[in-house]
Amino acid sequence: MPQRKSNTTSASTPADTPLQIRSMPFAEPEGYVAHLVARHTAQAIESGHAAASAHQHPATPIRRWRWAGVAASLLLMLAAGWTMVNMSNPSRTDHDAQRIASAAQKSPLDAYLESIDDEEASLMEYYEIEEVESFASDVTEP
């Protein structure tokens, strides 16, 4: 590792010589960086004390509003979740009402045939076709 030299440069830098460049190619005024550091140090101390005194205050209005905002956000999220759950799972009474309304628009025979359950439908297979038709006509006659 080459020895540290302040603000020294090499006139030419072939590949086999060690790097000896320590300064930056920026021409800052003398003492400028020291002044900048001192200024930021003072600002940091001042800001740090101001922040510390703000945190020590027990219940500032800003803190109260912050918690109110958090509570409101949680309530909104709960309400949105509850709404989404209800929309994806409609009630059975609504479904039954829709089925009855659609059934009322059909003929009495069709409505009767749709209202029988699966067990009765399977029993129908054992009846002959004439008996089914006579049974259907008995139903449709006023």
Partner 1 sequence: MCTHEAEARPHNAMNTPTTTADEQLLDLLQRPDMRDEGFRRLMQCYGESLYWHIRRIVVGHEDAEDCMQETCMKAFCSLATFRGQAEQLRPWLYQIATREALMTLRRHTHFFQSIDDLSPLLLETLHSENAPAEGKAEMLLQQALLTLPTTQRIAFNMRYFDEMTYDDIAQVTGKSIATLKTNYHYATEKIKHYISQHAS
DSSP assignment of 37-64 = HHHHHHHHHHHHHHHHHHHHSSS-HHHH
- Please state, in angstroms and rounded to a whole number, the distance separating the CA atoms of residues 124 and 75: 56
As measured in angstroms, the least distance from the Cβ of 67 to partner 1 is 23
Of the pair 37, 139, the CB lying nearest partner 1 is at 37
Amino acid at 140: T
Q: Rule CB under 8 A: is residue 142 a binding residue for partner 1?
A: no
Secondary structure (3-state) at 90? coil
Contacts to partner 1 from residues 26-45, by CB under 8 A: 26-27, 33-34, 36-38, 40-41, 43-45
Query: What is residue 109's three-state secondary structure?
Result: helix
Q: Should residue 19 be labelled a site residue for partner 1 when binding is judged by CB under 8 A?
A: yes
- Shortest CB 56 distance to partner 1, Å: 13
Write out the residues near partner 1 by the rule CB under 8 A: 1, 4, 9-15, 19, 21-27, 33-34, 36-38, 40-41, 43-45, 47-48, 51
